[in-house]
Amino acid sequence: MAYLSTITLNVELTTGGRDEKSSSQYEAQQRWYSLVDIVPPNEKVVDNVQGTVYKTEISFWEPDAAQRPFPESLAFVTGQFFFVTSEVEQTLIIRANPLRTLPHSNDSSANIPEWFAPVVNIVGHAGPLTQRHDSGMRSFDVRCTSYNPEAAGKYKSCEFMTRCFFDTGRRWESYEPPRAGTLVHIIGQLVGRYKMGGNEEPAVLITDYKILVSSGKASTAASGDGASTDTITPKKRKYGPKSTGVTMSPVTPETRGKRISQERLLSSPNSRVRHHPVAVFSGDDEDAAMTDEDDLFDSGVAGSSTVSGGAERDDTAHSKDMEGRHNDEAETTRQQRPKRAKRIK
C-alpha cells in the first residue's frame, strides 16, 4: 500500500528532455537530471548526520513546448518522491507536477531565490530502532511506501527508510518516539544523510508530527502477556447522542423464551391468568402472572380445589357451548343419512 510522500524544493536542472527510459512516445513526457545539495542547518547539531549530494531524476508531463525547461535553469519543484538505493549510492526520484522555471538572466546573481532545505511530507510506519543522542535529540526510523510505475512486480511500489529527529526545545519535550508499527504523519526538512554503523538513511528534522494509527501489537506488548481484566470506564464524549437515563435489563435466550411464553399465556382467550399490576412493570418473569390457585395457596387455603366464581362461570359456559356444538353435528349427520325403504309385510 502506497502512502503520502511529497517533496518541495528548488533545483538546478542540468540536462534532460524527452523521457527515454519510459515507453512513452510523446515529447510531453519529460525527464530531467540534477544534483541536490543537502546540508544540516548551521544553528543546530544533528547527531550522526552529514551533508550529502543526491543524484536526482525529475519526471513530469508538459505538453506546452514553450513551458519546458532548458539546461542550467533553476526550477521550483513539488511532487511525489522516493529513494532508490543501489550498492553505490541513493538516487532521489521525483514524479513532479508541471514545474515552472525561474526567469533566466545573464547575471548569475539576479533572480536567484534564497536556498532552503527541501521540505518533505510523509506518512509511514515507525520502525523498531529509536535512539536518544548526546545533543538531546531523539530519533526513530520511518518506513515509507510510494508508488513507482517503473518498479517490477504487481503492486508497483517502492519502500525506503528515513531517520526522523525530534528537535530540542520545550515544544518537543512532551513527545516520545512512537512504538514500532505505529502509522505516523511527519512534515520536516531533509537535512542530510544519517550514518550509524552500516546504515545510511535520509535524515529528516521534524517540524510537525502526528500519530494516525497506534500499533495494536505494541499496545498488547506494553500491557503485558496476559489479557487485562480491568474494567474500562468510557470517557464522556463531547459529541454524541444524549443519555436517555433508562436502564435496560440484559436479554438472554432464557429470558427471551420466558417472555414469549408469558405473552402467549396472557393473549389466550380462555386463560385464567390475572395480571399482577406490579410484576408486569417490574420486569420479573417469575412474578409476572399469578393464577387463582396461587392466590389461594398464598392466602393459606390448602387442599382446596375450588376456584373463583368468575372462573367457574367461564368453565360452565364453555362446557355448554361444546355440548351444543356436539348435538348440532350429530343432528346434521343424521339428516344426511339416506332413508331406508319400509319393509312390506
Q: Structural domain tally of the chain?
A: 2
Please give the Cα distance from 248 to 251 (Å, whole number).
9
Mean pLDDT of all residues in 75-100: 90
Angle at 236 between CA 234 and CA 237, to 5 degrees: 110
Dihedral sign for Cα atoms in the order 298, 301, 307, 309:
negative
Amino acid 284: pLDDT: 46
Domain boundary, last residue among 190, 215, 240: 215
Proportion of the chain above pLDDT 90, given as a percent: 34
Whether 180 and 269 share a structural domain: no
Question: What distance in Å separates the CA atoms of residue 77 and residue 30, rounded to the nearest whole number?
Answer: 14
Q: Please, which pLDDT band fits residue 9 given cuts at 50, 70 and 90? A: very high
342 is a domain residue? no
Do 284 and 164 belong together in one domain? no
In this prediction the pTM is 0.60
70 with 211, same domain: the answer is yes
301, 316 Cβ separation under 8 angstroms: no
CATH code for position 92: 2.40.50.140
Q: Domain ends where: 185, 215, 245?
A: 215
pLDDT above 90 for 326: no
The average pLDDT across 233-245 equals 41
Range of the domain at 45: 5-103+113-215
Q: Which three cell numbers stand for residue 219?
A: 499496545
> Closest by alpha carbon to 182, among 147, 221, 232?
221
Distance, CA of 69 to chain centre: 43
- Per-residue pLDDT reduced to its tens digit, 263-313: 565 555 555 544 444 444 444 444 444 444 444 444 444 444 444 455 555
* Tally of CA atoms within 13 A in the half-sphere of 76 that contains its CB: 8
Mean pLDDT, residues 206-213 taken together: 93
Contact 212, 168 (CB under 8 A): no
Residue labelled with grid coordinates 522516493: 82
Spatial distance between the Cα atoms of 182 and 214, rounded to a whole number of angstroms: 5
Alpha carbon 133 to chain centroid, angstroms: 34
Q: Which residues contact 323 (CB under 8 A, 6 or more apart)?
A: none
Residue 121 domain-assigned (yes or no): yes
Element (H, E) at 227: none
